[in-house]
Amino acid sequence: MKSTLSYMTWPLVVTAVGLLAAAALGFQFTGTAGGAASFFLIAAVLAVLEISLSFDNAIVNANKLKTMAPVWQRRFLTWGIVIAVFGMRVIFPLLVVVIAARIGPLDAISLAATQPARYAELIGAAHLPIAAFGGSFLMLVGLNYFFDQSKEVDWIGGLERSLRAVGSVRGMEIGFVLVVVLSFTILLPEAEKARFMFAALWGIVTYLAVDALGQVLDHWGGSGVGGAAAQGGFGAFLYLEVLDASFSFDGVIGAFALTQNLFLIAIGLGIGAMYVRSMTVMLVEKGTLAEFRYLEHGAFWSILILSVVMFAQTMWHIPEAVTGLFGAGVIGLSFLSSLRWNREHAGK
């Protein structure tokens, strides 16, 4: 069994390279040692922000990853990290500006390099539809876990049993999310209603499409056609990538509160993404989810909290630090509950 430190080898290497690159970038932009030190520190803070916001993502990833074929596990941890770092931390913010400003990708890169304040302004203007999409997608992820009729272990007993009972009604999770979306639509200013509703509905459609594709591929693989490329393969891979993207929205948007430099954001959040991936591998290979029976529950409660926060952010400013503390607190409580259960049932 590998030691915990061995799982962190690549993240530590990426951290060293990334922080040095951030310092070099700071010196290039400012021409001073103070500027280099400032960029170095911001990159470190961004990495910590990403880890704190995405620890629940690692737990959920591990839950799905353990059911995947080994070849697709490796692809998620190699191709997936490229998609996570470059897709969500670089290409996604560029696409937001391309669509919002109606300019070409090269012009968006030029804008990020030469007019970071304007770039950050465009990103901020797109926050409402991003939050609506991510909120509806993540809420469905969380509710699907608690509504699952095959779920046998409960952490918050009475509440989770009630949710499972409600979930026996087909399509209840979609109805619940639609009610939440309609409630926020009513509260939003008239000018924002259509954008919010459109994005939230696309979040629901995306979840259903990814879930349907995964089931089709699993059925295809189970019939002996396609093998590992289908069952526990591409469908699960796609689900995890969309889930990772939804988790990343909050971190990417929040990063602009610390710096308006796209390249520095990519470095800082990319470092954090490496740690999230390594934690995912560690959770799978060391069997941590099985050892701590309520840890997974804490992660999915954290997802539900994050989805509500994302909806609430369309109306009020909620600091990312608050979001991270909520998530970490819930997971911490589930970890302590798991330790207590292990003590009470030791030797039984």
d(CA 61, CA 218): 18
Give the pLDDT confidence of 36-48 residue by residue, as tens digits: 999 999 888 888 7
| Alpha-helical runs (H) found in the chain | 9-30, 33-65, 70-82, 92-101, 105-114, 116-125, 127-146, 157-166, 172-187, 190-222, 235-255, 262-285, 288-291, 295-312, 320-344
Cβ burial 209-232 (10 Å sphere, 16+ → b, else e):
ebbeebeebbebbeeeeeeebbbb
d(CA 338, CA 290): 10
Instruction: Check if the beta carbon of residue 249 is closer than 8 Å to that of residue 130.
Output: yes
| pLDDT on residue 229 | 39
Pick the more confident residue, 233 or 190: 190
| pLDDT on residue 341 | 92
pLDDT band at 291 (very low <50, low <70, confident <90, very high): confident
Instruction: Identify which of 9-13, 248-252, 321-325 has the greatest average pLDDT.
Output: 9-13
Rounded mean pLDDT, 221-245: 61
Instruction: Identify which of 21-30, 94-103, 271-280 has the greatest average pLDDT.
Output: 21-30
Give the pLDDT confidence of 114-138 residue by residue, as tens digits: 887 788 788 778 888 888 988 898 8
pTM of the model: 0.76
pLDDT band at 225 (very low <50, low <70, confident <90, very high): very low
Considering the chain, what is the average pLDDT of its residues?
Answer: 82
Which of 298, 295, 292, 299 is CA-nearest to residue 345? Answer: 292
Which residues, 6+ apart, have CB-to-CB distance to 343 below 8 Å?
Answer: none
Residue 224, pLDDT above cutoff 60: no
For every residue of 124-153, DSSP letters joined together read HHTHHHHHHHHHHHHHHHHHHHHT-TT---
Residue 273, pLDDT above cutoff 70: yes
pLDDT band at 228 (very low <50, low <70, confident <90, very high): very low
Rounded mean pLDDT, 26-34: 89
Neighbours of 260 (CB within 10 A): 19
pLDDT band at 257 (very low <50, low <70, confident <90, very high): low
Please give the structure tokens belonging to residue 164: 């499972």
Which of 237, 338, 225 is CA-nearest to residue 290? Answer: 338
Q: Angle of helix 235-255 relative to helix 33-65, nearest 10 degrees?
A: 150
Residue 221, pLDDT above cutoff 60: no
d(CA 54, CA 208): 23
Give CB contacts under 8 A, 24+ apart, made by 110-117.
Answer: 112/261, 112/262, 112/263, 113/262, 113/263, 116/260, 116/261, 116/262, 117/260
d(CA 119, CA 300): 33
d(CA 192, CA 213): 32
Give the pLDDT confidence of 317-333 residue by residue, as tens digits: 887 667 767 777 888 89
Give the pLDDT confidence of 196-212 residue by residue, as tens digits: 999 999 989 988 887 78
Which of 243, 273, 305, 255 is CA-nearest to residue 55? Answer: 273
d(CA 89, CA 95): 11
